[in-house]
A and B are shown apart, each in its own frame.
Chain A
């Protein structure tokens, strides 16, 4: 990746085809490394949930971990939406766990094996965009289902003076329509910038030590210390971004269910 001192931080995000080229109606539907890492995420989640949902009367460690995770999301829904939010818990839980696991899988240090590198599915616009559209579509469907055209009163906050309405309504509409973009942009940019940062400083280490000069050695040492800290921070960001996505989805659902 970083041969001849040239740092190429965007290379890790390329989607590569694995296996034969498949086409359906002019669209390339080949199996890619992105699909592979999504399947891996599915496998990890499936194993985790399967091991923990054996309904033991006295939960073991594994079941306790699963119960902790589900209880965390249920708490989130209860505090933000209330009892009406219970039936949307599985959706928010799936979003949260998928984002969390694919973020963490992307952090795996597989690049020490030549020719392999971990692929972060959530660092791609198309995937976070799909997740954001799903949650936004659910908000719209639930809102119109429960309230009909009364859902549009979402754009008129309570107690707004009449003469402020021409100003408030466009602002509310724009802020409503921006929601899916803010969801997709936050997750995708946070993951991508973190991985670029780690790639750049990782290349500093390699190039610094490879240069052989005392100064290059110093740069390598400093970069190494720095990247350990950044790695820890990235693990925090992985969990935080998944939590923020789930939190914002639950808040938007709250708007659709309870009409603020």
Chain B
């Protein structure tokens, strides 16, 4: 296998990480909805934490994306 095709495969493998982050973001919003529907009165106070959790989970997917881009365009 030459370097070019190895790079492409590597970038594709790195992009799997974004899918994993999608699971994480789904968990964050899913559990928020679950608990918000049980106690809607308390839901509004927790929105900051919701978006904090979303941001933290999303960041890891974005890092996977960055790695894919680095492999494709930098090396």
Contacts and interface: CB of A to CB of B under 8 A. Distances in A.
A169 B59 CA distance: 23
B73 A186 contact: no
A69 to B, nearest CB: 17
B27 interface: no
Interface string A62-94: 000000000000001001100000000000000
B66 A189 contact: yes
A80 B48 CA distance: 8
Range, interface on chain B? 10 to 19
Main secondary structure on chain B at its contact with chain A? helix
Contact of A182 (B51, B54, B59, B65): B59
Contacts, number: 33
Interface in B40-61: 48, 51-52, 54-55, 58-59
Contact of B65 (A80, A193, A240, A251): A193
B66 A185 contact: yes
Contacts of A248: 52, 55
Contact of B59 (A10, A80, A185, A240): A185
A247 B62 contact: no
B48 A186 contact: no
B51 A243 contact: yes
Interface of A: 10, 76, 79-80, 182, 185-186, 189-190, 193, 240, 243-244, 247-248, 251
